[in-house]
Structure 1
Amino acid sequence: MTQAQIENVAPQGADPKVLGVVGKGKRRRRVFWIFFAIALLAVVGGVAYWQLGATQTTNVRYQTRRVERGDLQVSVTATGTIKARDTVPVGAEITGRVLAVHVNFNDPVKEGQILAEIDTEQLKARVEESNAQLAAANASLLNAKASALEAKQKYERTKALFDQQLTSQQELETAEATKKRTEASVASSSSQVTLAQASLKVAKTNLSKAVIKSPINGVVLDRTVEPGQTVTSGLQTPQLFVLAADLSQLQLNVQVDEADVGSVKEQQRATFTVDAFSQQTFDSKVLAVKNMPTSGVSVVTYEAWLEVDNEKRLLRPGMTATSTITVDERKGVLLVPNAALRFSPRARPQSTGFSVNQLLPTNRMRRPGGNGGAGAGGRGPRKPGVYVLEGAELRRIEVETGATDGVRTEIKSGEINEGTEVVVSVMETTNG
């Protein structure tokens, strides 16, 4: 109530200062009763919560698994692509127009079988030209030999006359020079014959290359040429066909992570699956592991080659496969679930009742190592262990672990035996 309102309702003659004090007192009492009501509600709610929590109990149920004795396989998973083991690209070594193509995709071929033919008109003309050049060179050689023989005979007659002093020194020297020139002409003509023979051989070879033949027994994987197409030979031979020697034996090239490559060895057994036959598993084995790494974005892998038997012809080059390589095997060893090695009991509250302290802020902070761990006592990490139930209590048993397949782990030593029940998880339920 404002001062003006107090003055309006006040009796005549009342002191305004006294009336203002009375108004302030009423406001203080109203605030007090509001806070009192809030506090009362908080106390009543807390008591009700405590009574409800006092009637609730927490039941703890541990799930256990039995320690077994059995076989363990440690494996590495890698993905890759199926390829033909021996592929041969076949190309054109000459320039020309393709006249005919005699094979198609997936056709079986024999060694020496004609795959395609290139126009031979210009090549045949080149052979004829080389034959003519060789004939001319042979004629020149015969003429040079005849001239050389004539010059030799003349030199011998002149030499005989000179010895009898029937001719001059100049005549002898002239005959000798003529003899040497004709001998040089014979050598030059002989070289021309050799050159013409080589040109003819090249022309015939190019003519034979116009018929493209299969170099192996196998099957056509790819064909990149059509009749009428012009192929041009240069620094790189144009590829027309890709042949595979034998599709009954394929190769799976997989990329092994650098963290696993140390355990992958030659002759290790492996299996793989492909999307085309997702319900079927194929057997294979490791042929080799390359030392050259393959680097990607923050990933380094190494290529491993796996042998693939494809007698049924189900698999095809280019298929993507996921392989599992067995890198270690253990027979008849103690095995525990990995969940048992990961299990660690946590502290449980003594009751679920209400405490006023839960509503109050605290300035006390948890100190590092306050739970008695390595930070508190300066101890290193604990050895691996499992928990067993002794009555209603848990007891931890330290063990020495061996190989693991990610689900089960070998136990080399420890106070557990085949059939021991080890704790793998805990479930809590509340009653009341």
Structure 2
Amino acid sequence: MTDTTAYPTAATARIPGSKSITNRALLLAAAATGTSRLCRPLVSADTLAFRTALTDLGFRVGAPEHDEVWEVTGVGRGPTGRADVWCEDAGTAARFLPPFAAAGRGRFVFDGSAQLRARPLRPLAGALAALGAAVTTSPGGGLPMTLDTEGLYGGALTVHSSLSSQFLSGLLMAAPLMRTPVTFTVEGLVSRPYLAMTLALMRRFGARVTEWPGDVIEVRPGGYGAVDLAVEPDASTASYVFAAAAITGTTVTVPGLGSGSLQGDLRFVDVLRRLGARVEITDTATSVTGAGRLRGGFSVDMGEISDTFMTLAAIAPLADAPVTIRGIAHARLKESDRLAAVAHNLRALGVDTDESHDRITVHPGTPVGARIACRRDHRIGMAFSVLGLRVPGITLDDPDCVGKTFPQFHEELRRLFPPTFRPASPQRQGSR
């Protein structure tokens, strides 16, 4: 059993708003008629990039209360005119905003960082062309993407979502702005909880959506109406403090993240239960209490909550038996090849790891300190920082990568676990 006497027995974590909810709500508010107020949105590199992209498209987004509230004014339709939109590193901007723009009228050019250019967009481009837009992409099928459009017609559309559910979410959110109803037949869906989140938020803004058996979704025209929305804490980000509680034998509570959450990634706490942690979920909060020791010897499909698989993989060497994580092939197409990145870093720490196309097995071991290659991926940096609570000498080659979703991550981990938290190395390798 780990000596936990130096740790606070219980702590309340300050987790920023959900990126997934913030960016979906930004788009839906821009598509609505009237002014919506988003309370406690995530303020991070990704959401600021999304907000700026909306202003590039001609929409007004104000922050009159020091970023505690964002006011978004929409006119009930897609953008018009011409615009060059820079998405930076934000995958949601590159997947959600082109369908919204295509539902408007004009010429729109979307581009982003080299990292974002490497991420696939071909299924989205094909769907937009089928709905009536003229679309060109890079030779590889990614950014830059140019849209020439007079609006989208609707109709029947088959969407292949095995690479990312974000393609489907982007098309769905644009559907109420199309001329006729749209019937989506969904094939190969990954990350189903994110689809559920999209549909719930669309309905909150007034969309008329019907789900039929066999993954068929019908969306009727009619647009959206403005709403006021409180953004939940980010469940993916909460996974790091929950995992930290599990390996340190302490209790961490995240208020505002309760049983009615829209976010599927809250299911990560069910995985922590299998590791031996105690979990309590109420209407208003979630708490995790760790035993300081982890029980392994199981296999878990994390395909629907893949943004948290790295959190599990990073702490899995501390378990008493191997842990296999499967169903995560699509995680190779995120900000980095996350499967390869996790396996590489675990091996650098001296941990025996088996990797295949869609799974990884992490064996028990005694990790040693090493420099973590973050690959500009915020989730790699945060996951291995948690392991650093138990393993001296873990540093990050890019500690600032956490700014994509949680700029105050290092400070919050230090506040929650002051005796053992070791700041990431301030040194840099390579250009950013």
- TM-score bracket for this pair, using the shorter chain length: under 0.3
Greater relative CO, 1 or 2 (CA 8 Å, sep 6+)? 1
The normalised TM-score by structure 2 is 0.19
Structure number with higher strand proportion? 1
The normalised TM-score by structure 1 is 0.19
